[in-house]
Amino acid sequence: MSLPAPTSDALAASHALQHRIAADIERHAGAISFARYMELALYAPDLGYYSGGAAKLGKDGDFTTAPELSPLFGAALAQVAAAIIAQSAPRILEFGAGTGKLAYDVLTELAAAGVAVERYAIVDLSGELRARQRETLRDFPQVEWLDTLPEAWEGVVLANEVLDAMPVQLVRKTAAGWRELLVTVEEGRFTYAEAVPDAALAAQVERQILHTTHPDDLPDGYTTEVHGAACGFMASLAAMLARGAGGAAILLDYGFPAHEYYLGQREAGTLMCHYRHHAHPDPFYYPGLQDITAHVDFTAMALAAQDGGADVLGYMNQAGFLIGAGIGELLLRTDPADARRYLPQANALQKLVSPAEMGELFKVLVVGHGVALPAAILAHDRCHRL
């Protein structure tokens, strides 16, 4: 692949992580699940992509997220957060807060609207990003950092591009049945080996894939992801909300409902890696220096939330959510005659809502209990497509 060469320090860190992963493979009789490989590649202490020190976001990182594009994104989310807070409690919990830009924009918008947020808690595994968040949010004393989920939560939960980075297992359809793809080492390189799925993975395949599509619709060799970790997270998140007096979680990510996810033409799955603003499909390329993601199966996420005791309050594309949240009106706070300020914001809004950009690929799932979404948001609801 024609990708930018890493620095010598980055290369040394990647080699150290490769040795750590290889040792883990050796300890587990020569093979580990892809989920375990992905977990180590992203989160191994000091060396994983999210736990190391390299910049992840923005022009010097590997990708750009919606909050980095425009403050309109956070301001629109703040409108929905205010509606939920009015029905529950003045608290916000954010997972994977990136540079802290979303938290900054949400808190700034809510303060301007006279909505006092008593507590803004952040759960983030990246030490480098936590440091950037502390700097970005230094003027907001109500911000705190947590290492684990609270036992119960009332208020708002935000998770922008969190589910896609949770470790997935890989499965492949063969003439002999479904097989799990494990990660092993051959001639000094990571590669795949097939194994019969255990009972838990077989049950997940049944629920996620076979309940949705007829096996004959998928060709032999068809490879896809099973989202066990994300489903577990959703169940825990739902249980946390169910133990509170009322609240909702807003999860934004790229993905599909199950009937659009498991299609014959998507025979290589959705696994994708991001390195220095280049996207490619090889998860074994310089572990620790690149992001590894998979599209989200929103049907599986909704079912897991229901299993955990929450209600599915809404599901829609990002365009519908942001338009319902009033992002167009927020843009008009900037005078269109002031082209120097207005045009960059208008261009960013176009990227956020255009079907050809983020508007359709990104979806929004809202789960919770004891609260309802504003009617303008529900006008775009697609729960019937889950």
Residue 195 placed within a domain? no
Biggest alpha carbon–alpha carbon distance for the chain = 67
- Structural element, H or E, at residue 249: strand 247-256
Q: What is the mean pLDDT of residues 44-57?
A: 76
Residue 187: the pLDDT is 96
Mean predicted lDDT score pLDDT of the chain: 94
**pTM assigned to the model:** 0.95
Work out the average pLDDT over 290-319: 97
Domain extent, residue 119, equals 66-165+229-260+295-385
Q: Residue 46: inside a domain, yes or no?
A: no
- The count of domains in the chain is 1
pLDDT higher than 60, residue 252: yes
CA 299 to chain centre: 15
Cα–Cα–Cα angle for 133, 230, 256, nearest 5°?
Answer: 100
Which residues on neighbouring strands pair with residue 119, listed in sequence order?
91
The confidence score (pLDDT) of residue 212 equals 85
Residue 121 included in any domain: yes
Residue 208 has pLDDT above 70, yes or no: yes
* Residue 371 dihedral angles phi and psi, to the nearest 5°: -140, 165
Classify residue 183: in a domain, yes or no: no
pLDDT > 90? residue 92? yes
Buried b (16+ CB within 10 A) or exposed e, 84-122: bbeebbbbbbbbbbbbbbbbbbbbbbbeeeebebeebbb
* 306 within a domain of the structure (yes/no): yes
- Residue by residue, DSSP assigns 100-141 as SHHHHHHHHHHHHTT---SEEEEE---HHHHHHHHHHTTT-T
Q: Give kind and range of the element (H or E) at residue 95.
A: strand 91-95
In this prediction, residues 318-338 reach a mean pLDDT of 97
Q: Give DSSP secondary structure letters for 196-230.
A: ---HHHHHHHIIIIITTS-GGGS-TT-EEEE-HHH
| Dist CA 328 CA 346 (whole Å) | 9
Q: What pLDDT does residue 54 have?
A: 58
List beta partners, residue 362. Answer: 254
Q: Is the pLDDT of residue 56 over 90?
A: no
In eight-state DSSP terms, residue 334 is S
Quick check: 213 pLDDT over 90? no
Per-residue pLDDT, averaged over 74-94, amounts to 98
Does the structure show a pLDDT above 90 at 129? no
Under DSSP, is residue 287 helix (H, G, I), strand (E, B) or coil?
Answer: coil
pLDDT of 250 over the 60 cut: yes
- Mean pLDDT, rounded, for 155-180: 97
SS3 content of the chain, % helix, strand, coil (to 5): 40, 25, 35
Per-residue pLDDT, 378: 98
Point out the least confidently predicted range of 46-55, 182-191, 213-222: 46-55
Flag the least confident range among 44-48, 170-174, 355-359. 44-48
Q: 285 in a domain, yes or no?
A: no
> What CATH number does the domain containing 247 carry?
3.40.50.12710
